[in-house]
Amino acid sequence: MKRFLAASLLAAALPLAAQDTRKEIQRYQQMIADGSPVELFELEGETLWKKPQGPRNISLEKCDLGLGPGVLKGAYARLPRYFKDADRVMDLEARLLHCMTTLQGRSREEATKRVFGNENEPSEMEYLSAYVAAQSRGMKMAAGTSHPKEKEAFELGRAMFFHRAGGWDMSCASCHGEEGKRIRMQDLPVLSKPEFARPIVATWPAYRVSNSQFKTMQWRINDCYRQMRYPEPKFASDATIALSTYLAVTAAGEPYRGPGTKR
């Protein structure tokens, strides 16, 4: 009984402001999620998925995201995974790029000219990611873990997560390594632990209210390295896919709840 009493006294002793602040921030996050325009991006993504494009003037409706050509339901929840036709582990954006080049006959250079959009003109990848991810809502996330290349991607991703380099000697763990920490008002989930990785990975890609932009996982990784004072990760490169494989596998089992709405 004494330990319980001590613990509750300790909890009360926490500066009330800090407790309230965290509670209020969570309330804010809940309210912006309720009133989020993210569904508008799903609508535009559907239009693009069905729009014939490229030299072959073909839509993406036959693109195989891992569950068979054109199968959308639950496909995102199983990514990243190994694809035999490309002999490579791919995340959603890498796979969409593959379909743009193979099905639509577009050059990689043209298809990756503008992979990150802005609030006035979101990119194709952003619209498509919103639409495809939405088709996995409610399904348990299960990124690939059985193929040797999937294991390789996971191990490489884990090593990258703790690898310190760049202008500020940082690794992902520098910020995402200790429980209960914040950057300014932004809580920092320990992404190497399943219980903290699950709610996060389950809500990417996401609409960010702060700049009214829809952001993908490739952008999230790109922008973290920018702020860690590294040079730029190449879009959909093995390194970026290894890191998102590590995060997705760490979060496995969580029902996908995205596309999310974030600060």
Partner 1 sequence: MAVGPMKMRATIAGGNTDVRVLMTHPMTTAQSGQPLHFIQNVVVKQNGKTVLEAEISQAVSRNPVFTFRLKGGAKGDKIEVSWVDNKGDSNKIESAVA
Partner 2 sequence: MKTTRRTLIAALGALLLKPLAAFAAWNEQAFGAKTAADALKTLGASSPAASKDIMIEAPQIAENGAVVPIEVSSSIPGTSSIAVLIEKNPFPLAGRFEFRDGALPYVKLNVKMGETSDVRVIATAGGKHFAASREIKVTIGGCGG
Partner 3 sequence: MKALFVLGLIPVAVCAQDVQKVLQRDFQPRGQATMDRVVQDGVQRVCTESNDRPPAQLAKQLEADQLKTIAFPQGSLIGDWKNGERIAQNGRGGQWTDAPGAAGGGSCYNCHQLSPQEASFGTLGPSLLRFGATRGNGPEIQRYVYGKIYNAKAYNLCSQMPRLGYSGTLTPEQIKDLVALLLDPSSPVNK
Give the residues lining the site for partner 2 (CB under 8 A): 20-21, 24-25, 27-29, 31-32, 34-35, 183-186, 209-212, 226-227, 263
Name which of partner 3, partner 1, partner 2, none residue 29 binds, using a CB cut-off of 5 to 8 Å depending on partner kind: partner 2
The site that binds partner 3 (CB under 8 A) totals a number of residues, namely 43
- Closest CB 259 distance from partner 1, rounded Å: 13
Judge if the upstream peptide bond of residue 205 is cis by omega within 30 degrees of 0.
yes
Rule CB under 8 A: say whether 212 interacts with partner 1.
yes
Judge if the upstream peptide bond of residue 231 is cis by omega within 30 degrees of 0.
no
Q: How far does Cα 22 stand from its chain's mean position?
A: 23
Pair 89, 153: CB distance under 8 Å: yes
Active site residue 63: no
Output 6 or 43, the one with its CB closest to partner 1: 43
Name which of partner 1, partner 3, partner 2, none residue 169 binds, using a CB cut-off of 5 to 8 Å depending on partner kind: partner 3
DSSP-assigned letters across all residues of 133-146: HHTTTTSBP----S
Rule CB under 8 A: say whether 86 interacts with partner 1.
no
Q: How far does Cα 28 stand from its chain's mean position?
A: 21
Q: Which residues of 127-139 are buried (b: 16+ CB within 10 A; e: fewer)?
A: bbbbbbbbbbbee
* Binding region for partner 3 (CB under 8 A): 21, 148, 151-152, 155-156, 158-160, 162-171, 174-175, 178, 180-185, 188, 225-227, 229-234, 237-240, 242
